[in-house]
């Protein structure tokens, strides 16, 4: 019996530009598949696609596994494995740069595997096949009447470098290899989908398959860089860049007549793409695109990637355990690790490595981290990450804390932040109360909070507990602003933190707490009541806390807590 005959449930799939009918189907035994239906006249072509997918699946290319192909009534169908996952295109902006880069490397390796399938014997030379098709498309471009500034620069580049396509090798191509045709499953495995593009019969110069990378470059230069590096296993040769710029120019220009079929909005998008191409290649003066990041360096520690400016010896981490997570997006000069040792896990903060985002020397980062040790000891609190030890190690300095399973509110971790901000208001109110509690404790201990921001806030969903994880710049009072623009996120900083010679004290921290309230319940930039999610009484308390005039704010954290508590009890 055909699997097709056992389908008991179907749901249309509408994503994509394909004219095929697509369905998510479930069979009697509970298996889930992707069903595609085509007209009978496409039988031969679709059978070629199915066979090609089968060959690549056998090679280990991660994809919707081809299951069954045949005729159903007056139509042709293809049944493939279903991937439960998310589109890479939508997910990329939510991932840390290191993860984007590593996914790019993985996608480049997959493409290289696809290209191991050779072209059929007696395939016509690539330059003739390509020129026959592209010449027609370029003539249509010249005739369609659509013009934009710089178009001639692209056409001139194409004319100048078209001889480079002579004597190019040929192999099997995906034909539409871009982030819109990639998915991540629930286990974060990368899959390639949509094998139905028929340009050049999916046989041609392997490098032409990389041109759709431009879709990724617009969203993630790190992914695009990683894909090219992953494909070559190193930085590509100069010859590649010249030919890449040629293929990208041809692709972007000849997309204009294609876009006409899909209306004005698509046309405007393609015109923007052509302008982007001109910008990437400096009006075709430089074949290496501006989005390529040749100095981006990733190092693996126990199989976990991290970005650095240069290689560094992290072998000392073995004394703490095996690394299972790395936080490398800090601009403080620190890099942080989750390590497991037996049944215990720890959070290790280290200074001394050439971190990618840091703008200070390693020695300064080490000195800063050393100064934090007494701060964490003095300010020990149930909502503060617990300090265990600190020592000089690995040509730097390490501070070891208890591990916390928490989601961070910081913008540098978009997926975590998304989950954090989707918490119900009741939970966020509890989080804010705990933030206020620890900062009342900070004031009582004679300290002032400096550089507190959303990246300092964790929430442990299982323990229902708020944890403050980064108080490195908290300082004893009295404290005077001796730098002008102090360290910190401007979204949380008071006017006095930008004013040389200003007093930084508990009233300053009232402002920080008010800014935190707006980050949790309103809008960080637009602090209007229209953007506020709670009642007017609570809004008034938060608005008072972020007054530009210090004298107009609550004059202590205790006063802020008192007014906030009363406002919570007020009727809406």
Q: Give the list of residues 6+ apart from residue 336 with CB closer than 8 angstroms, or none.
A: 326, 327, 328, 330, 347, 348, 349, 350
pTM for this model (two decimals): 0.83
Specify the DSSP class assigned to residue 513: H
Each as own residue / partner, the long-range contacts of residues 131-138 (CB below 8 Å, 24 or more positions apart, any chain) are 131/162, 131/165, 133/199, 133/200, 134/250, 134/254, 137/250, 137/254, 137/257, 138/250, 138/253, 138/254
pLDDT band at 36 (very low <50, low <70, confident <90, very high): very high
Q: Rounded distance, CA 389 to CA 348, Å?
A: 10
Instruction: Look at 527 and 329; give whichever has higher pLDDT.
Output: 527
**572, pLDDT greater than 80:** no
pLDDT for position 146: 62
- Chain centroid to Cα 366, Å, comes to 29
pLDDT for position 571: 64
- Give the residue from 382, 313, 385, 303 showing the smallest Cα distance to 353: 313
Measured CA to CA in angstroms, residue 230 lies from 93, 112, 385, 539 at distances of 20, 8, 38, 51
Least confident of 181-185, 331-335, 452-456: 331-335
pLDDT for position 143: 78
Least confident of 18-27, 279-288, 300-309, 429-438: 18-27
Q: Give the list of residues 6+ apart from residue 564 with CB closer than 8 angstroms, or none.
A: 436, 538, 541
Q: Is the dihedral of CA 263, 265, 266, 272 positive or negative?
A: positive
- Give the residue from 78, 74, 77, 94 showing the smallest Cα distance to 86: 94
Q: Rounded distance, CA 218 to CA 482, Å?
A: 41
Residue 232 CB coordination number (10 Å): 14
Rg (alpha carbons) of the chain, rounded to whole number: 29
As a whole number, mean pLDDT of residues 231-259 equals 93
Please, are residues 229 and 100 in contact by the beta-carbon 8 Å criterion? no
As a whole number, mean pLDDT of residues 136-142 equals 83
Most confident of 1-5, 108-112, 143-147, 458-462: 108-112
**149, pLDDT greater than 90:** no
**Predicted confidence (pLDDT) per residue in 500-559, tens digit:** 999 999 999 999 999 999 999 999 999 999 999 999 999 999 999 999 999 999 999 999
pLDDT band at 231 (very low <50, low <70, confident <90, very high): very high
- Give the residue from 12, 351, 36, 382 showing the smallest Cα distance to 193: 36
Q: Rounded distance, CA 386 to CA 389, Å?
A: 10
Percent of the chain with pLDDT over 70: 99
**Predicted confidence (pLDDT) per residue in 467-502, tens digit:** 999 899 999 999 999 999 998 999 999 999 999 999
pLDDT band at 458 (very low <50, low <70, confident <90, very high): very high
**331, pLDDT greater than 90:** no
Specify the DSSP class assigned to residue 325: E
- Chain centroid to Cα 498, Å, comes to 31
**Predicted confidence (pLDDT) per residue in 336-360, tens digit:** 999 999 999 999 999 999 999 888 8
Backbone angles phi, psi at 126, to 5 degrees: -60, -40
Q: Rounded distance, CA 173 to CA 162, Å?
A: 20
Percent of the chain with pLDDT over 90: 78
Least confident of 251-260, 324-333, 527-536: 251-260
As a whole number, mean pLDDT of residues 376-392 equals 97
Give the pairing of strands 21-27 and 32-39.
antiparallel
pLDDT for position 141: 81
């Amino acid at each position: 019996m055909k699997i097709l005959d056992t389908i008991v449930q179907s749901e249309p799939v509408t994503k994509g530009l394909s004219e095929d009918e697509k369905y998510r189907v479930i069979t009697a035994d509970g298996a889930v598949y992707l069903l595609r239906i085509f007209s009978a006249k496409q039988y031969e072509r679709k059978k070629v696609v199915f066979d090609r997918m089968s060959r690549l699946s056998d090679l280990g290319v991660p994809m919707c596994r081809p299951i069954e192909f045949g005729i159903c009534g007056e139509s042709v169908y293809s049944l493939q494995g279903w991937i439960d996952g998310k589109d890479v295109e939508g997910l990329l902006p939510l991932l840390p740069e290191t993860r984007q880069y590593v996914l790019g490397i993985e996608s480049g390796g997959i493409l290289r595997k696809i290209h191991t399938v050779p072209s059929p014997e007696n395939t016509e030379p690539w330059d003739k096949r390509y020129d026959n098709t592209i010449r027609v498309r370029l003539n249509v471009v010249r005739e369609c009447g659509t013009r934009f500034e710089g178009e001639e620069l692209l056409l001139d580049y194409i004319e100048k470098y078209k001889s480079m396509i002579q004597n190019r090798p040929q192999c099997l191509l995906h034909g539409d290899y871009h982030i819109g045709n990639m998915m991540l499953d629930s286990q974060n495995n990368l899959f390639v989908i949509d094998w139905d593009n028929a340009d050049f019969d999916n046989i041609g110069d392997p490098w032409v398959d990389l041109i759709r990378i431009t879709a990724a470059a617009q969203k993630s230069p790190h992914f695009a860089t990683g894909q090219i590096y992953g494909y070559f296993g190193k930085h590509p040769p100069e010859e590649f860049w010249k030919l890449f710029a040629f293929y990208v120019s041809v692709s972007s220009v000849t997309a204009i007549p294609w876009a006409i079929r899909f209306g004005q909005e698509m046309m405007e998008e393609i015109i923007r793409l052509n302008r982007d191409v001109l910008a990437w290649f400096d009006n075709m003066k430089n074949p290496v695109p501006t989005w390529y990041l040749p100095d981006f360096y990733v190092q693996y520690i126990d199989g976990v990637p991290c970005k650095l400016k240069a290689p560094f010896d992290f072998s000392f981490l073995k004394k703490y355990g095996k690394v299972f997570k790395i936080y490398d997006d800090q601009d403080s000069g620190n890099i942080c690790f989750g390590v497991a040792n037996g049944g215990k896990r720890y959070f290790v903060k280290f200074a001394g490595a050439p971190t990618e985002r840091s703008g200070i020397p390693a020695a300064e980062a080490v000195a800063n981290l050393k100064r934090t040790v007494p701060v964490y000891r003095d300010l020990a609190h149930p909502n503060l990450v617990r300090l265990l030890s600190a020592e000089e190690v690995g040509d730097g300095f390490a501070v070891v804390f208890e591990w916390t399973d928490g989601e961070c509110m910081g913008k540098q971790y978009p997926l975590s932040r998304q989950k954090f901000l989707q918490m119900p208001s009741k939970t966020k109110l509890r989080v804010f109360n705990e933030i206020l509690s620890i900062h009342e404790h900070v004031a009582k201990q004679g300290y002032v909070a400096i550089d507190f921001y959303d990246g300092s806030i964790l929430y442990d969903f299982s323990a229902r507990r708020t944890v403050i994880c980064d108080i490195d710049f908290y300082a004893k009072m009295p404290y005077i602003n001796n730098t002008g623009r102090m360290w910190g996120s401007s979204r949380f900083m008071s006017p006095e933190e930008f004013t040389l010679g200003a007093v930084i004290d508990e009233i300053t921290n009232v402002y920080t707490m008010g800014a935190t309230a707006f980050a949790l319940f309103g809008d960080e930039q637009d602090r209007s009541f229209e953007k506020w999610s709670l009642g007017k009484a609570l809004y008034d308390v938060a608005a008072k806390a972020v007054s530009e005039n210090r004298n107009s704010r609550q004059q202590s954290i205790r006063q802020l807590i008192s007014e906030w508590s009363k406002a919570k009890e007020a009727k809406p």
